[in-house]
């Protein structure tokens, strides 16, 4: 009996995206179908998650070809967990876009592009083949190119040029890396790659290739020296699209880094993971420096994305159970909370009509729900106990102590403080304070813009309060990451 | 003022058919010889673009009165549906099969479901190429 559930989260957005191309002039139908399809995808992913927890890692051989000869989709806990949160974040952004995006953009293929973006993200999470990973990276990047430039404003055109340039270069390096790896090992399947590299014991050449992959994925994930494109690119498009990008795109890069450094290149952690640790520490510092420095709402959040990347990579670099557990927990928490924050800032911008912080204040008087939701999101981001950010960071710190990376732990704590400062700065100056709005006569109605982010915040709250319910899934993902044999045996059985 | 390009127009009327037939030939032989959906689609698109150059884009729009973006979508749909078709036979996504059939005129012929997938690719390539060229061409 074949479990078609594994490919369902990939196929649903693909087919729906194609169908939506035919319905271009009927925006209303597009909305309905998009919401239905993402809900279906969410349900399928939840079922898949239960099945993975019950029966272990599951594989799906495309075209019936045995690995390592064919392409295989691998559903382990980490991948399915990320697919689940992708579906949640995408659904929230979709619900926001119904009221929060202008009609023009919606008529120009916003919904199909959203579906194709999700196809790429989900495919990148599920695939077990390194070249297929490249293809899905391109699928999601192509969609993101179109989404970033959609609308054709001056800033968008300028930033999309940079974004496309950077990603074309990193994709070319990706292909180069795959070519090197293929000429050393002669295979592209990740499980088989892992076996063969274990046989030859990761000589210096393979470590060089590993670092080339670190450059490639680091450029996608925005870790320290390669993050320069992100602040501009992510603050150019409308808030919904930024929320999608911040919630999903950098996370795919992080996932790829976690995947390859736990399953393929794990033989010389003294070199690779040491470098990862150093880069993670600097990424945290750079992220919070940016977050503290700016007075622009979107820029502050964008630099918080960079800081978040640093925390997760730090979890990987400590390479022990609590560290990886914290990294994964923080990764899924970060997807939720970054999307929620970007959507809340989107609602704030609808009211104030400016992303600048000092031009408006005192929103709490007429928008109390927005104000308190923002406070909750800010506390969750910083890691205050009732919310999900706390548990992830706690485990990250524990992992850091076990790995004796005391300096980086110190930097993490300090940067958490500054992250809190950067978002509370928004809270105090825009939400609280004397009421000052650009146009007081007509107060914009933000009905329908708040509930997607409140759903996300509620989930974050549940993840924080009920960390015990989330624990088995994340623990299972951690076990698979620390024991690559589970993954390899599931893929290359018999 | 437009020069009198009667030679170009007459040659185009003749050459277009040769190109299209050759592109279909290349498309169909892709399973055993060099060729396939991608190159076949590019050649067909080239023939249509030749008409666009010799006459003008309005003529092409009159000959092919549909939206090329939808041609792309149709191609994608065909390709994905051939993959999903495997589900009916309890096989994984994109599983393909083939068999031999006796067709009138052609005799014993090998027919593979991969051809259906390739038709999808063929349409996508034509649709994308023409959308790009004509969107830029019509931009005044």
Angle at A441 (CA atoms; ends A440, A446), nearest 5 degrees: 75
Distance CA A42, CA A38 (A): 6
- Cβ-Cβ contacts under 8 Å, B87 against chain A: 4
Task: Give the number of other CB atoms < 10 A from CB of residue A151.
Answer: 19
Non-local CB neighbours of A484 within 8 Å, separated by 6+ positions = A194, A262, A263, A266
**Mean per-residue pLDDT of chain B:** 90
**Are B90 and A2 within 8 A, CB to CB?**
yes
Give residue A440's pLDDT: 55
Question: Would you tell me how many other CB atoms lie within 10 Å of the CB of residue A269?
Answer: 16
Question: How far is the C-alpha of A170 from the C-alpha of A225, rounded, in Å?
Answer: 13
Percent of chain A with pLDDT over 90: 71
Count contacts between A and B (CB, < 8 Å): 42
**Nearest by CB to A61, which of B84, B92, B96?**
B92
Query: Which tokens belong to A181?
Result: 């790896």
* Residues of B (57-76) whose Cβ lies below 8 Å from A: 69-70, 72-73, 76
Residue B67 CA: distances (Å) to CA of A24, A25, B73, B120: 12, 13, 10, 16
**With bands split at pLDDT 50, 70 and 90, how would you rate the model's confidence at A494?**
low
CA nearest to B75, candidates B125, B128, B27, B123: B123
**Which chain B residues are closer than 8 Å to A18 by Cβ?**
73, 76-77, 80
Nearest-angstrom CA–CA distance, B130 and A45: 38
Q: What is the distance in angstroms between the Cα of B44 and the nearest Cα belonging to chain A? A: 23
Q: Which two tokens stand for residue A474?
A: 């994340």
CA distance A204 to A271: 10
Q: Are A84 and A44 in contact (CB under 8 A)?
A: no
Dihedrals φ, ψ of A336, to 5°? -60, -50
- Whether the predicted pLDDT of B140 surpasses 70: no
* Sequence-ordered list of residues with C-beta below 8 angstroms from that of A134, at least 6 positions apart, any chain: A171, A174, A175, A178
Q: Please judge whether B92 and A63 are an interchain contact, meaning their C-beta atoms are less than 8 angstroms apart.
A: yes
CB count, 10 Å around CB of A441? 5
Q: What is the mean pLDDT of chain A?
A: 91
B93 touches chain A (CB under 8 A): yes
Closest CB from B80, B95, B96 relative to A15: B80
Instruction: Name the strand (E) or helix (H) holding A475.
Output: helix A467-482
Inter-chain residue contact A62 with B69, CB threshold 8 Å: no
Q: Are A289 and A415 in contact (CB under 8 A)?
A: no
Checking if the pLDDT of A350 tops 90, the result is no
Q: What is the mean pLDDT of residues A325-333?
A: 94
Tell me the nearest-neighbour CA distance from A468 into chain B, angstroms. Answer: 36
Which position has the token pair 């890691």? Answer: A383
Express each pLDDT in A387-446 by its tens digit.
888 989 999 999 999 998 899 999 999 999 999 999 999 999 888 888 777 665 567 777
| pLDDT number for residue A1 | 54
Residues A30 and A52: their CA atoms lie apart, in Å, by: 32
Which residue in the block uniquely carries the two structure tokens 């308190």? A372
Question: Which one of B67, B73, B80 makes the best mutation probe of the A interface by having the most chain A beta carbons within 10 Å?
Answer: B73
- How confident is the model at residue B17, as a pLDDT? 94
- Residue B19, SS3? helix
- Two tokens at B2? 């437009």
pLDDT of res. B91: 87
Nearest CA in chain B to A17: B73
Note the pTM of the prediction, 2 decimals: 0.94
Q: Are A311 and A396 in contact (CB under 8 A)?
A: yes
Euclidean distance between the first and final Cα of chain B, in Å? 17
Contacts of A426 (CB under 8 A, 6+ apart): A297, A300, A345, A357, A374, A378
Nearest to A89 by CA among A283, A313, A341, A368: A341
Instruction: Answer with the residue of higher pLDDT: A98 or A494.
Output: A98
In DSSP notation, A336-400 reads HHHHHHHHHHHHHHHHHS-SBGGG-B-GGGT-HHHHHHHHHHHHHHHT-TTSHHHHHHHHHHHHH
Determine, for residues A19 and B96 on separate chains, whether the beta-carbon distance falls below 8 Å.
no
C-alpha radius of gyration, chain B, whole number: 18
Structure tokens at A94: 């979709």
Confidence grade of residue A72 (pLDDT, cut at 50, 70, 90)? very high
Residue A364: predicted pLDDT: 85
DSSP code string of A76-129 = -HHHHHHHHHHHHHHHHHHHHHHHHS-HHHHHTTHHHHHHHHHHHHHHHHHB-B
Question: Which of B79, B90, B92, B114 would you mutate first to test chain A, the one with the most A CBs within 10 A?
Answer: B92
Question: What's residue A441's pLDDT?
Answer: 58
Distance separating alpha carbons of residues A492 and A58, to the nearest angstrom? 11
Contact flag A64-B84 (C-beta cutoff 8 Å): no
Phi, then psi, of B109 in degrees rounded to 5: -130, 140
Contact A27, A103 (CB under 8 A): yes
Between strands A58-61 and A72-75, the pairing is antiparallel
Name the interface residues of A facing B (CB cutoff 8 Å).
2, 4, 7, 11, 14-15, 18-19, 21-22, 24, 60-64
Q: How far is B126 from chain A (nearest CA, A)?
A: 16
* Whether pLDDT at A22 is above 70: yes
Task: Find residue A58's DSSP bridge partners.
Answer: A75
pLDDT tens-digit series, residues A380-395 = 998 888 888 898 999 9
* Residue A99 · residue A31 · CB < 8 Å: no
């Amino acid at each position: 009996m074949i479990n078609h559930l594994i490919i369902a989260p990939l196929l649903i957005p693909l087919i729906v995206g194609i169908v939506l191309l035919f319905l271009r002039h009927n925006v209303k139908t597009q909305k309905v179908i998009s919401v239905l399809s993402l809900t279906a995808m969410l349900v399928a992913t939840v079922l898949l998650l239960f099945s993975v927890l019950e029966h272990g890692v599951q594989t799906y051989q495309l075209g019936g070809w045995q690995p390592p000869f064919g392409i295989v989709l691998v559903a382990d806990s980490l991948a399915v967990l990320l697919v689940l949160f992708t579906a949640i974040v995408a659904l929230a952004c979709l619900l926001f876009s119904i009221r929060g995006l202008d009609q023009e953009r919606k008529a120009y293929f916003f919904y199909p592009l959203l579906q194709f973006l999700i196809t790429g993200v989900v495919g990148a999470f599920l695939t077990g083949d390194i070249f297929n990973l490249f293809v899905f990276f391109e699928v999601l990047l192509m969609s993101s190119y179109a989404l970033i430039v959609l609308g054709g404003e001056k800033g968008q055109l300028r930033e999309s040029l940079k974004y496309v340039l950077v990603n074309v270069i990193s994709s070319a390096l990706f292909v180069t890396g795959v070519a090197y790896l293929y000429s050393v090992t002669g295979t592209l399947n990740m499980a088989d790659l892992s076996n063969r590299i274990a046989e030859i014991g990761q000589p210096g050449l393979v470590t060089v290739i590993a670092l080339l992959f670190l450059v490639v994925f680091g450029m996608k994930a925005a870790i320290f020296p390669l993050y320069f494109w992100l602040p501009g690119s992510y603050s150019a498009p409308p808030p919904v699209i930024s929320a999608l990008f911040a919630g999903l795109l950098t996370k795919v890069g992080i996932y790829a880094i976690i995947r390859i450094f736990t399953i393929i290149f794990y033989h010389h952690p003294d070199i690779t993971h040491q470098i990862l640790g150093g880069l993670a520490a600097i990424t945290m510092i750079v992220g919070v420096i940016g977050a503290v420095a700016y007075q622009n709402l979107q820029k502050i959040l964008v630099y918080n994305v960079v800081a978040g990347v640093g925390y997760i990579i730090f979890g990987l670099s400590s390479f022990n159970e609590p560290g990886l557990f914290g990294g994964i927990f923080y990764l899924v928490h970060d997807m939720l909370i970054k999307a929620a924050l970007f959507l809340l800032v989107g609602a704030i911008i609808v009211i104030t009509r400016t992303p600048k912080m000092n031009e408006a204040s005192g929103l709490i008087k007429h928008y109390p729900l927005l104000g308190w939701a923002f406070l909750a999101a800010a506390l969750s981001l910083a890691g205050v106990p009732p919310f999900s950010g706390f548990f992830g960071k706690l485990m990250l710190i524990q992992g850091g102590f076990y790995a004796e990376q005391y300096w980086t732990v110190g930097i993490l704590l300090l940067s958490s403080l500054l992250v809190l400062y950067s978002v509370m700065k928004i809270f105090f100056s825009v939400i609280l304070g004397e009421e000052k709005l650009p146009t007081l006569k007509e107060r914009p109605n933000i009905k329908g813009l708040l509930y997607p982010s409140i759903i996300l915040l509620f989930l974050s709250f549940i993840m924080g309060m009920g960390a015990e319910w989330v624990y088995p899934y994340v623990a299972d993902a951690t076990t698979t990451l620390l024991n690559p044999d589970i993954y390899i045996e599931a893929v290359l059985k018999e | 003022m437009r020069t009198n390009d009667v030679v170009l127009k007459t040659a185009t009327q003749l050459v277009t058919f040769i190109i299209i037939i050759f592109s279909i030939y290349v498309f169909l032989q892709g399973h055993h010889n060099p060729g396939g959906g991608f190159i076949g689609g590019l050649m067909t698109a080239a023939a249509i673009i030749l008409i666009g150059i010799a006459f003008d884009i309005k003529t092409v729009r009159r000959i092919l009165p549909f939206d090329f973006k939808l041609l792309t979508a149709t191609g994608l749909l065909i390709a994905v549906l051939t993959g999903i078709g495997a589900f009916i036979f309890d096989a994984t996504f994109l599983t393909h099969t083939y068999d031999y059939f006796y067709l009138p005129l052609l005799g014993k012929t090998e027919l593979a479901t991969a051809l259906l997938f390739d038709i999808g690719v063929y349409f996508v390539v034509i649709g994308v190429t023409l959308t790009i060229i004509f969107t830029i061409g019509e931009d005044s």
